[in-house]
Structure 1
């Protein structure tokens, strides 16, 4: 019996929308929230900026290498395809296992949660300014979070061109918002005759310690993990490569333009934060010793513009995470689509909607699991659950009351992301060996090969080691390893004996 050839996604994404997908999915919450974590772990301003620059340079090194791999395999699925072709079906399945169940779903859930919280902040400032009251209680906020995910799911099911257009428009707003934050201190200083709190360079602590060996490298590593969350998603052109027009030319251009733009915006925004806010205000903690959950951008705008600035900052954060959320719902289902074509996931995920030509079922599955994650994490933060006896120990499922659902969901994203994304970049060495370059067989070749990808892999390997060295991140690393191992067991039981 002759098999029906798999359907292909139409190439409808041009270079500008491709660039907007990358920028729009990366700029979400990190640039507004993670500045506190960075400043808390790295006390010197120069080192704080070095962390943000290093995160950007890592993304740039990875982009230079990954662009070659993506041009070689311009197919839906991104890292899943690279790992499958480079290391075998099991490696591809493990990425899909971790990405669907934790990485992508947790990112969607975290971004939707932050959108709702920012919207709630706007309501509070509009209805009850200056009062610490909840306009919406906890569970209505969770309901709103699920409705936001549901609404964007409909947009992404109805067409890639439609969701790409939405992404482009929101990305323009994001970039404009960050440019506003970067220039705001200087504009306020210029127009105000006697500014109440002008930017003061005295806020900036020394660039680096006098003794470089006196740097707390473990703290630097923890800060870098926070920055990696802010840059997380720079690979997001790869999952939609099958839908990019002229991929040999547009993938490298869009990827590199997006990364350079992100570095400039992130470094500019954090410079502005530290020009206006003293470090003690940035690393402010509550009575329980937890870092303030208020985005740095909110305090920054409040310091410059008062209550109006607080509302404006909340609107900026809300718009930003909305765009990142839409981008993730556009990119994430392409993984399930690719795995469905290979029968490493239910084959129904590979079916395209007859009218909109989108992986509708895969999109609904991704959104449904993200909604369930929002509700489950919300329940863990609100209710006490009994400990689970394991015979030799007890597993405490309760979540500390001072920890937000956002932080819980982002804690477990970076370890798995770093692990598999590093393997994806390293696959360039495999493909250079398996498919030797000849004149004309590669439209793009990695600049600086093999130094550029080797340097990326080495630095990211050190980041992974730091996960286990630092007690604050060791739990996330061990849980991540355990979940990867569980994926290996599932593959062995259900797919290990199947032929490709």
Structure 2
């Protein structure tokens, strides 16, 4: 691999991979689970601390193993091939490809704001509950287009990533600025009037929309469950920063630049996320956030800020955001499957580079499977299950920092985790609380993800049996 990515490129990859569609959508569900501006802000702050703590901890591993594959490489080096394969399997099966499909579908759905015919037209095919729509076709076209562009060399992918990430950062800053300057009737006081009292209301479903019914006060166990459920959205919106570790083999001076990009990128994104949610709380009342049309509080807030043209402004912003996000995910994910193939844990053809020095076959495998998930319409259900699994693998990797300090203290560490052991322990504490609460109060978010990963065990045994 040629080292063609500078620190700026790496930071743009971190930020571009993180900022997709989640920040424009998930706050509705979070508000329905907690019902208070205080709690909405608190969950985003907790998620921000958690995310930056993980990035700081990962930095030590990235400096020790500065090669392609990132998290897969770290897990394999520390805990062995089987654990690494379980992670890689989950990444290919749904974590990376399912996220690509979901973000591509968000691109299609927001494009439909500008081209209503996409929503209004009849399904291309329908059989019972299964149907293929023009929005799905557009999503697949975007996936395959970005896959094709990335097969032509890392410079093409880098250029797209930098342009689209810079564009969406500037657009978000604009929304944040105007969200405070142009609001005539601020809802801030009413949203914060509930203090630390928490409420839940999941409304009545009417068509594709939820309408408020009656907010119910919650505390104790119900509040803990609400916090865990709310964090599913904020955590999902804050993942994928580790994608930069997947391309460590193509980053200049990776021992320093990978950790710098992760810490700078995650910190900047979490500040942006918090500010965007402050705009929601300023522009919309509690019901306006929780029951925004089609769970899109960003569109509702934009309409309040800019009037009727707000829908168009937000649609364009989300299209830019999701397009750049997909590109980052496509660029980075293929490097993991290539590394797995070199370790004998994936299709052999995935390890080959084309004449542009990129893993073309690995890119197409990823793109085709992501397209299948988009076509199936099941990616949304799968993604509900994987926030738990993603955090679980984050915890395993962060624990690896502590494990190696005891097991192999003699290994060279060009970068050491800041405030060790407080930083990794802080992440492990928050992550453990999140996972335990989900298992106790929202099991539908946990056991399906476990099953998805456990399916990989017989595959791993078959591969190793065949080799031996």
Regarding TM over 0.5, the answer is yes
Which of 386, 392, 395 is 1:419 aligned to?
A: 392
8 Å contact kept, 1:109–1:409: no
Q: CA deviation at 1:144?
A: 1.3
Output the aligned Cα RMSD: 2.1
Counterparts in 2 of 1:213-232, with a 5 A limit?
216-232=223-239
8 Å contact kept, 1:109–1:370: yes
Q: Distance in 1 between matches of 2:72 and 2:182?
A: 48
Aligned to 2:240, the other structure's residue is in SS state coil
8 Å contact kept, 1:106–1:413: no
CA change 1:469–1:213 in 2 (3 A) is: closer
Q: Distance in 2 between matches of 1:411 and 1:84?
A: 26
8 Å contact kept, 2:86–2:456: yes
Counterparts in 2 of 1:309-458, with a 5 A limit?
309-353=310-354, 355-377=355-377, 407-437=380-410, 441-458=412-429
Q: Distance in 2 between matches of 1:170 and 1:425?
A: 30
- Which protein has the larger Cα radius of gyration, Structure 1 or Structure 2? 1
Residue 134 of structure 1 corresponds to: 120
Q: Distance in 2 between matches of 1:412 and 1:315?
A: 29
8 Å contact kept, 1:34–1:226: yes
Which of 492, 496, 500 is 2:461 aligned to?
A: 492
Which of 176, 184, 193 is 1:205 aligned to?
A: 193
8 Å contact kept, 2:100–2:329: yes
Which of 95, 103, 112 is 1:103 aligned to?
A: 95
Q: CA deviation at 1:102?
A: 1.2
Question: Deviation string for 1:90-117 (max 9, x for gaps)?
Answer: 0011101111011111101001001001
Corresponding residue pairs, total: 441
Aligned to 2:244, the other structure's residue is in SS state coil
Are 1:158 and 2:174 matched, yes or no? Answer: no
8 Å contact kept, 2:180–2:279: no
Residue 479 of structure 1 corresponds to: 448
Q: Distance in 2 between matches of 1:49 and 1:198?
A: 17
Residue 52 of structure 1 corresponds to: 44
8 Å contact kept, 1:70–1:251: yes
Q: CA deviation at 1:294?
A: 4.0
Q: Distance in 2 between matches of 1:267 and 1:181?
A: 13
Q: Distance in 2 between matches of 1:316 and 1:117?
A: 13
Question: Deviation string for 1:326-372 (max 9, x for gaps)?
Answer: 1100111111100011111112111000x210000000000000111
8 Å contact kept, 2:44–2:274: yes
Unaligned runs of 5+ residues in structure 2 are: 124-131, 199-217
Residue 110 of structure 2 corresponds to: 118
Are 1:188 and 2:182 matched, yes or no? Answer: yes
Are 1:233 and 2:240 matched, yes or no? Answer: yes
8 Å contact kept, 2:14–2:242: yes
Q: CA deviation at 1:468?
A: 1.6
Unaligned runs of 5+ residues in structure 1 are: 1-8, 190-194, 286-291, 378-404
8 Å contact kept, 1:102–1:412: no
Question: Deviation string for 1:420-457 (max 9, x for gaps)?
Answer: 1211111112222343157xx32210011112112211
CA change 1:36–1:406 in 2 (3 A) is: farther
Residue 464 of structure 1 corresponds to: 435
Question: Deviation string for 1:43-90 (max 9, x for gaps)?
Answer: 221111010011010011111110000110111111111111111100
CA change 1:465–1:214 in 2 (3 A) is: closer
CA change 1:254–1:171 in 2 (3 A) is: same
Question: Please, which moves more after superposition, 202-211 or 324-333?
Answer: 202-211
Q: CA deviation at 1:42?
A: 1.2
Residue 400 of structure 1 corresponds to: none
CA change 1:415–1:74 in 2 (3 A) is: same
Q: Distance in 2 between matches of 1:165 and 1:339?
A: 27
Q: Distance in 2 between matches of 1:496 and 1:458?
A: 38
CA change 1:409–1:134 in 2 (3 A) is: farther
Are 1:42 and 2:13 matched, yes or no? Answer: no
Instruction: Give the TM-score normalised by structure 2.
Output: 0.90
Q: Distance in 2 between matches of 1:481 and 1:175?
A: 35
Are 1:175 and 2:169 matched, yes or no? Answer: yes
8 Å contact kept, 2:26–2:295: no
Q: Distance in 2 between matches of 1:105 and 1:205?
A: 42
8 Å contact kept, 1:38–1:226: yes
Aligned to 2:310, the other structure's residue is in SS state helix
Q: Distance in 1 between matches of 2:35 and 2:27?
A: 12
Q: Distance in 2 between matches of 1:327 and 1:492?
A: 32
CA change 1:136–1:239 in 2 (3 A) is: farther
